[in-house]
Chains A and B, each alone.
Chain A
Amino acid sequence: MFHGFVTTAKLRTSECGPLRARKARFTPIPDLTLMTTQPRSDLLRIRPLAGLFAAWALLLALGTGCGPRESGESGGSTPDSKPRIALIMKSLANEFFLTMENGARTHQKNHATEYDLLANGIKDELDVARQIDLVEQMIAQRVAAIVIAPADSKALVTVCRRAQEAGIIVVNIDNKFDDAVLAEKAARIPFVGPDNRKGARRVGDYLARRLQPGDPVAIIEGPPNAFNAQQRKLGFTEAVQAAGLRLASSQSGYWETDKANQVAAAILTEHPDLKAFLCSNDSMALGAIAALRAAGKADTVLVVGYDNISAVQALLKEGKILATADQHADQIAVFGIEYALQLLETKSAPADRETPVDLVTAQGVEPPAP
Chain B
Amino acid sequence: MKPSDPPTPSSSRAAEWRQVLAEYLGLTVALAILMAVFSLSAQHFFSAITLRTIANQIPSALLVATAMTFVLVIGEIDLSVGSVLALSGAVMGVAMAQWHWPLWASLIAALATGLVCGAFNGLVSIRWRLPSFIVTLGMLEMARGGAHAVTRSQTQYIGSAVGAIADTDILGFSLPFLVAVIIVVVGQLVLSRTVFGRHMVAVGTNQEAVRLSGIDPRPVKLAVFLITGMLVALAAAIDTSRFQSANPNAGLGFELQAIAAVVIGGTSLMGGRGSVVSTFLGVLIIAVLNSGLASVGAKDEMKRLVTGLVIVAAVIVDHYRHRLTKARTV
Binding site for B on A (CB under 8 A): 92-95, 98, 224, 249, 251-252, 256-258, 261-263, 265-272, 282-283, 286-287, 289-291, 293-295, 309-315, 318
- On chain B, the residues within 8 Å of A310 by CB distance are 154-155, 157
Q: Judge whether B243 and A286 touch: CB under 8 Å.
A: yes
Separation of A176 and B157 alpha carbons in the complex (Å): 31
The smallest C-beta distance from B65 to any residue of chain A, in angstroms, reads: 15
Selecting from B107-115, B223-231, B259-267, B294-302, the interface stretch reads: B294-302
Given contact pairs A287-B243, A290-B243, A256 touches B157 in the complex (Cβ within 8 A): no
* B250, A258: Cβ atoms closer than 8 Å: yes
CB-CB under 8 A from B45, the residues of chain A are 269-270
Contact present for A283 and B57 (CB under 8 Å): no
Q: Say whether B273 faces chain A, with CB atoms less than 8 Å apart.
A: no
Pairs across A and B, CB under 8 Å, 30 listed: A93-B144, A94-B153, A98-B153, A256-B250, A256-B252, A257-B155, A258-B251, A261-B57, A261-B243, A263-B294, A265-B57, A266-B290, A266-B294, A267-B295, A268-B53, A269-B53, A270-B294, A270-B295, A272-B44, A286-B157, A286-B243, A290-B244, A295-B49, A309-B155, A310-B157, A311-B154, A311-B155, A314-B157, A314-B159, A318-B159
User: If the complex has contacts A258-B239, A261-B57, A265-B291, are A311 and B144 also in contact, measured as CB distance less than 8 A?
Assistant: no
- Residues of chain A within 8 A (CB-CB) of B242 are 261, 290, 294
A269 touches B295 (CB 8 A): yes
Known contacts A286-B245, A318-B159; A309/B154 CB under 8 A: yes
| In the complex, chain B residues whose CB is within 8 Å of the CB of A311 | 154-157, 245
B316 within 8 A of A: no
Give chain A residues whose Cβ lies under 8 Å from the Cβ of B250.
256-258
Q: Say how far B127's CB is from chain A's closest CB, in angstroms.
A: 16
Closest to A248 in B: B297
Q: Is B47 an interface residue (CB 8 A)?
A: yes
Q: Is the CB of B297 within 8 A of A94?
A: no
Q: Which residues does chain B contribute within 8 Å of A224, judged by CB atoms?
A: 300-301
Rounded to whole Å, the gap between the CB of A268 and the closest CB of chain B is: 8
B residues less than 8 Å from A314 (CB atoms):
157, 159
Interface residues of B in 22-60 (CB under 8 A from A): 42-45, 47, 49-50, 52-53, 56-57
Q: Shortest distance in angstroms between B234's beta carbon and chain A's nearest beta carbon?
A: 16
Given contacts A257-B243, A286-B245, A294-B56, whether A266 and B295 have CB atoms under 8 Å apart is yes
Of all A-B residue pairs in the complex, the 8 with the closest CB atoms, nearest first, are: A266-B294, A311-B157, A311-B155, A265-B53, A98-B153, A270-B295, A266-B295, A263-B294
The residue in B154, B250, B294 that gathers the most chain A C-beta atoms within 10 A of its C-beta is: B294
Contact B248 A286 (CB under 8 A): no
B218 at the interface (CB under 8 A from A): no
Q: A269 with B159: in contact, given A256-B252, A261-B243 (CB under 8 Å)?
A: no
B217 smallest CB distance to A (angstroms): 26
| Distance in angstroms between the alpha carbons of A92 and B301 in the assembled complex | 27
Most buried by B among A98, A287, A294, A312: A294
| A93–B251 alpha-carbon span in the complex (Å) | 13
If A224-B300, A265-B294 are given as contacts, then 5 extra A-B residue pairs at C-beta distance below 8 Å, sorted by A number, are A95-B153, A261-B243, A269-B45, A272-B44, A286-B155
Complex Cα–Cα for A265 and B50 (A)? 8
A203 to B157, CA, bound (A): 22
Q: Is B148 an interface residue (CB 8 A)?
A: yes
What are the residues of chain B within 8 A of A313 when measuring CB–CB? 157
Which residues of the other chain, B, contact A283 by a CB distance below 8 angstroms? 155, 247, 249
The interface residues of chain A lying within 8 Å CB-to-CB of B239 are 258
| CB neighbors of A among B114-154 (8 A) | 144, 148, 152-154
Question: Could you tell me the distance between the alpha carbons of A265 and B45 in the complex, rounded to whole angstroms?
Answer: 11
Residue ID in chain A nearest B159 by CB atoms: A314
Nearest A residue to B294 via CB reads A266
Chain B min CB distance to A317 (Å): 10
A311 to B: closest C-beta gap in Å: 3
Q: Are B247 and A269 in contact, CB atoms less than 8 angstroms apart? A: no
Specify which chain A residues have a CB less than 8 angstroms from the CB of B166 in the assembled complex.
Answer: 294
Interchain CB contact (< 8 A) of A256 among B52, B249, B295, B297: B249
Q: B163 to chain A: which residues have CB within 8 Å?
A: 293
Instruction: Point out the residue from A93, A270, A312 that lies within 8 Å of B249, measured CB to CB.
Output: A93
* Alpha-carbon distance between A330 and B74 when the two chains are bound, in angstroms: 49
Residue from B50, B52, B154, B294 in contact with A251 in the complex, judged by beta carbons closer than 8 Å: B294
CB distance from A124 to the nearest CB of B (A): 9
A257–B244 Cα gap in the complex (Å)?
11
A286-B247 in contact (CB<8A): yes
Min CB–CB distance A290 → chain B (angstroms): 5
With beta carbons under 8 angstroms apart, the residue of A95, A286, A287, A290 that contacts B154 is A95
Residue of B nearest to A125 (CB): B249
Contact with A along B288-318 (1 / 0, CB 8 A): 0011101101001100000000000000000
